[in-house]
Structure 1
Amino acid sequence: MTDSPAGSQTEILNAEECWRYLRSSYIGRLAVINGDIPEIFPVNFSIAGETLVFRTAPGTKLRALLGGGIAALEVDGLNPYSTEVWSVVAKGRPQPFDETTMQLPAGDADREPWEPGIKNHLVAITPTDVTGRRFPVRPRSRWWPPVDFSADWL
């Protein structure tokens, strides 16, 4: 891990730390491009080696995933004391899960999507880029009252 610029307490996570956090979770947000429009979907996922795997049904998400573009999966969390948060983003080209060359972990083989309906398309993303960061949570006294953002946003 390395520190971020000037005074920030944000730590940039190395690949090993990013995968540790990814393996500690099973809920994320999948970002895809649908034509010219970004779409974000909540998904529950499994990890097979260094491949992210999830089920989906035909529709917008599957069309965007298999359209040849890059997708991103973001997973966030916080430590047990809620004093530190982390965020990991994995980017890669989605493909149909190939059961002849890939194998789901035994405990996750039957993981079902949360949303009802038949989701018989298993999709795999083997990330080409995995990045993450971790930082302490500021005390709530620093959040409120709202500040005037007008000068900060210019």
Structure 2
Amino acid sequence: MTGSPAGSPTEILDADACWQYLRSSYIGRLAVINGEIPEIFPVNYSVSGDTLFFRTAPGTKLRALLRGAVAALEVDGLNPYATEVWSVVAKGRPEPFDETRMSLPAIDADREPWEAGIKDHLIAISPTELTGRRFAVTPPTRWWPPVDFAADWL
């Protein structure tokens, strides 16, 4: 982990810490480009080695994924005391699962998506870019009462 710019309470995470957080969760938001429009979908995912896996059904998400454009998976979390927050973004080109060169972790092999329906397509993303940050939760006294931004819109 490395520090962020001077005076900032945000810590920039190294790749090992990013993978640790990705392995500690299983819910994220997948961002894809559908034509020229960004789309974001909640997904539950698994990690095996340095690859992320999730299931999907035919539709907008799958079509966008199979076009070969870079996708991003963002995963966030907080510590048990809700005093520290983290966020990791993994970017890479999605591809269909290939059992000849990929393997799922045994514990996650049968994980099913939360949304009802058959999700026959297993997609893999091996991130080419992995970024993350961690920071302390700011006490509400630092941002309350709300600031009137009306003058900024003029």
1:76-131, CA deviations, whole angstroms, 9 ceiling, x for partnerless residues?
00011111100000000000000121111111000000000010000000000000
Count of matched residue positions in the alignment of Structure 1 and Structure 2: 154
1:34/1:116 CA distance change after superposition, 3 Å: same
Q: Which residue of 2 aligns with 1:3?
A: 3
The answer to whether residue 115 in structure 2 is matched with residue 115 in structure 1 is yes
Structure 1 runs (4+) deviating above 2 angstroms are 148-154
Gaps of 5+ in 2: none
Structure 1 residue 3: Cα displacement: 2.0
Q: Secondary structure of 2:112's match?
A: coil
Q: Secondary structure of 1:21's match?
A: helix
Structure 1 residue 6: Cα displacement: 3.3
- Equivalent-residue separation in structure 1 for 2:151 and 2:30 (angstroms): 33
Q: Which runs of structure 2 are paired with 1:76-115 in the superposition (5 Å)?
A: 76-115=76-115
With structure 2 as the length reference, what TM-score do the two structures score?
A: 0.95
- Equivalent-residue separation in structure 2 for 1:145 and 1:43 (angstroms): 35
With structure 1 as the length reference, what TM-score do the two structures score?
A: 0.95
Aligned-residue CA RMSD (Å): 1.5
The answer to whether residue 20 in structure 2 is matched with residue 20 in structure 1 is yes
